[in-house]
Every structure is written in C-alpha cells, then in structure tokens.
C-alpha cells in the first residue's frame, strides 16, 4: 500500500484501492444512521456522524483511502439555495436568484460549512497516517445543472436558455471562486487529495465542452496545484474527449468511466495517473463475473500508475460481501 497523494504526486506503480461512494447506502451501518437522520444536508453537517460514516468502510474493509462523507450540493446550499433530496428522484434546488448569488461572501460561506471542515479534522486524527483523506467538489458545469434545475432530457434546449443569461460568465467565475475556497478549507482541515466530480459532463455538446468542462476544471486544477494538493478529475461520459480533457486540464489523476476501454485509456491518457473504470453494476453479478471484469482492468494497467476504483459510485443494492471479495481479489492478484 502507498499513500494516494504519493502515487498521484510521484506516479508510483503500486497497489491502491478505494471506491467512490464507499461510505454510503450499501452499508447496513450507514443505513442505521440514515434512518435516524432524515434530512440529508443536516447529516452532512453533523461533524461527528459525518466522520463516523467516512470511517465505516475503512474499519470494515481497510481500504487505502477515505473520502469525506458529504455531497457536491453542499456548495449551492452554502450559497443560499435550498436543497431537497427526494427518494428515487434527482435532488431539487430552489430557484436560482442571481442577485442573492452575487451577494454571498466568503466568511459566511465558510461559517455555513464549518461542520464539514470539522468532520475532516476529526477524521484525519482518527485515520491511519498512511491513508489519504480525499475531499471533493462538484465541477462547475455539474453544479449548474442542479442550480438551474436543468432538464437533462432536454439539455440542448436548456443550454440555449442558459447561454441567454448575460451573467453566465460571471456566475461561473464566482462559482469557481467558492469551489476553490471550499477546496482550500478542506485541505487546511486535513484533506490531502481532491476529487472533482463532473458527473454530467457527458451532456455537454462538443462545441460547448471547452467552455463548460475543460476551462472550469482547468482553473480548479491550477488552484489545487498552487496549494500543492493533487487532484483527480472525473469528467464522466465525455468518451474520447477524455484525451483532449487530459491534455487541457493536466490534473495529476483522471477517473475513467465504464464506457472507456481500459486499453484505449492506457494508450491515450498520458502523464496522468488513471483511476477507476469498473462498472459498478458488475458488483451485482456473480463472483466469477466480478473477478473477470476486475482482471481486465488490473491487467490493462499493470505496468503504469493505476488506482483501482469504479466507473461511478457503489450502488445502494451492492452486497458488502462482494465488495470485500473484490478487495481481497485485487490485493492478492499476481497475474
């Protein structure tokens, strides 16, 4: 095992495994806490419980890294939008009010999210010093889709409306400022790696991808470099544009989704540590199918820096036993 930060900074070839959404709904321990805490945002802002949830998969599986239990929508929340989580549906945010958005200030933003930073401090104190503690944000485009409640089935129509907003460039600029502040506060609290989730990047039309995906992610990665903290970008769904993204953004790590062929990634994504790729749906199948799919990724990346992870987060219906078996298979793999 090697520290995730070290792998990203020095491009080490060694075994490292963690999972997106490893602290979450598939764990009985989490579900027990969640059943008593109905308001999800309030749960994210409960420092003690957030830390406890973060550490649950570390205690259970001894994974190589912890990722703080929080949510990408904590930033729009701190910027004044109400966030409602509805079972079986996409989160719903209150209407975006431009004037209110611009009236935010950094001191108040930090105050609202202080419990998140406290949770990181608590977790860092309890976590093995050889394990990384990952902080994260949602990328600007992905947050905009929620902040403006864009209909993802009619994304082209919504983009036309979004582009008509004369304040859009300034909104992006201000949003990036607060995302950078959130990163800095998390790093100051003890996080040593940043993951940037652009979960809806695949919806962006090609002619808009530089404006809404490459440039915003690039600005945030540049800020991370100034903090001397490595970043992992996850521009999910952009297919072969991963190659252009990687050349433009230059993050230390890049998480591929399950649509990306691992050998294509190996041949096209250079000067970066590749992470992930395994379809989380595979973990709902037989042990034989799981090990076959995992072997494909392990073998593809065996001679370059690679972090074993998924092409998206663990699904709620995943059996923790299968997670444990996969971890053991990966760690004992000698092929």
Structure confidence by residue, pLDDT tens digits, 65-109: 999 999 999 999 999 999 999 877 889 999 999 999 999 999 999
CA distance 332 to 335: 9
Residues in Cβ contact with 292 at an 8 Å cutoff, skipping those fewer than 6 apart: none
pLDDT for 285: 98
Taking only the tens place, the pLDDT of each residue in 207-253 is 999 999 999 999 999 999 999 999 999 999 999 999 999 999 999 99
Query: What pLDDT shows up at residue 87?
Result: 77
Q: Which two tokens stand for residue 103?
A: 């009236």
Identify the active-site residue in 117, 146, 178, 297.
Answer: 146
Residue 334: per-residue pLDDT = 85
With a cut of 80, say whether residue 206 has pLDDT above it: yes
pLDDT > 70: percent of the chain: 98
Q: What is the pLDDT of residue 154?
A: 72
Q: Which domain holds residue 185?
A: 4-332
* Closest of 289, 114, 93 to residue 101, by C-alpha: 93
- Lowest average pLDDT, out of 123-127, 148-152, 172-176, 209-213, goes to 148-152
Question: Taking each helix axis from N to C terminus, what angle separates 168-189 and 140-147, rounded to the nearest 10 degrees?
Answer: 120
Number of domains making up the chain: 1
Identify the pLDDT of residue 157: 72
**Is 34 considered catalytic here?**
yes
How far apart (Å, rounded) are the C-alpha atoms in residues 136 and 278?
Answer: 20
What's the rounded mean pLDDT across residues 301-330?
Answer: 97
Q: Assess whether 5 carries a catalytic annotation.
A: no
* Confidence (pLDDT) at 163: 76
CATH value at residue 301:
3.20.20.210
**Which one is catalytic: 64, 71, 198, 257?**
71
Q: Answer whether residue 160 shows pLDDT above 80.
A: no
Percent of the chain with pLDDT over 90: 91
Identify whether 331 is a catalytic site residue: no
Model confidence band, residue 257 (pLDDT cutoffs 50, 70, 90): very high
Considering the candidates 5, 21, 26, 64, report the single residue annotated as catalytic: 21
Which pLDDT belongs to residue 90? Answer: 84
> Would you say residue 38 has pLDDT above 80?
yes
Instruction: Assess whether 25 carries a catalytic annotation.
Output: yes
Residue 2 has pLDDT above 70, yes or no: no
The mean pLDDT of the chain is 95
The whole-number pLDDT of residue 306 equals: 98
Which H or E run contains 93?
strand 92-93
Residue 246: per-residue pLDDT: 98
pLDDT band at residue 159, thresholds of 50, 70 and 90?
confident
pLDDT band at 164 (very low <50, low <70, confident <90, very high): confident
As given in the structure block, the two tokens for residue 38 are 């109905």
- DSSP string of 64-92, one letter each residue: SEEE-S--TTHHHHHTT--EE--TTS--E
| 307 three-state secondary structure | strand
């Amino acid at each position: 095992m090697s520290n995730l930060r070290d792998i990203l900074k020095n491009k080490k070839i060694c075994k490292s495994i963690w999972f997106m959404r490893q602290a979450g709904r598939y764990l009985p321990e989490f579900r027990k806490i969640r059943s008593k805490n109905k308001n999800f945002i309030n749960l994210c802002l409960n420092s003690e419980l957030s830390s406890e949830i973060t550490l649950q998969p570390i205690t259970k599986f001894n994974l190589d890294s912890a990722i703080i239990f929080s949510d990408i929508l904590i930033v729009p929340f701190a910027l004044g939008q109400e966030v409602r989580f509805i079972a079986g549906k996409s989160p719903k945010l209150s209407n975006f009010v431009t004037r209110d958005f611009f009236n935010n200030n950094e001191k108040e933003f930090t105050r609202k999210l202080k419990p998140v930073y406290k949770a990181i401090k608590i977790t860092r104190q309890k976590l093995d010093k050889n394990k990384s503690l990952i902080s994260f944000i949602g990328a600007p485009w992905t947050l905009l889709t929620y902040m403006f409640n864009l209909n993802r089935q009619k994304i082209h129509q919504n983009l036309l409306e979004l582009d008509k907003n004369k304040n859009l460039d300034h909104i992006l600029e201000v949003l990036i400022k607060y995302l950078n502040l959130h990163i800095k506060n998390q790093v100051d609290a003890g996080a040593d790696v940043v993951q940037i989730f652009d979960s809806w990047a695949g919806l962006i039309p090609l002619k808009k991808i530089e404006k809404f995906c490459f440039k915003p992610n690039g600005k945030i990665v540049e800020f991370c470099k100034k903090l001397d903290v490595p970043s992992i970008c996850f521009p999910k769904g952009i297919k072969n544009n991963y190659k252009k993204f990687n050349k433009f953004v230059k993050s230390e790590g890049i998480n591929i989704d399950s649509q990306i062929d691992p050998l294509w990634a190996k041949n096209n994504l250079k000067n970066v540590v590749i992470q992930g790729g395994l379809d989380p749906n595979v973990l709902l199948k037989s042990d034989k199918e799981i090990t076959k799919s995992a072997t494909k990724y392990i073998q593809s990346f065996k001679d370059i820096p690679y972090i074993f992870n998924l092409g998206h987060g663990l699904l709620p219906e995943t059996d923790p036993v299968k997670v444990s078996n996969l971890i053991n298979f990966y760690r004992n793999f000698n092929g």
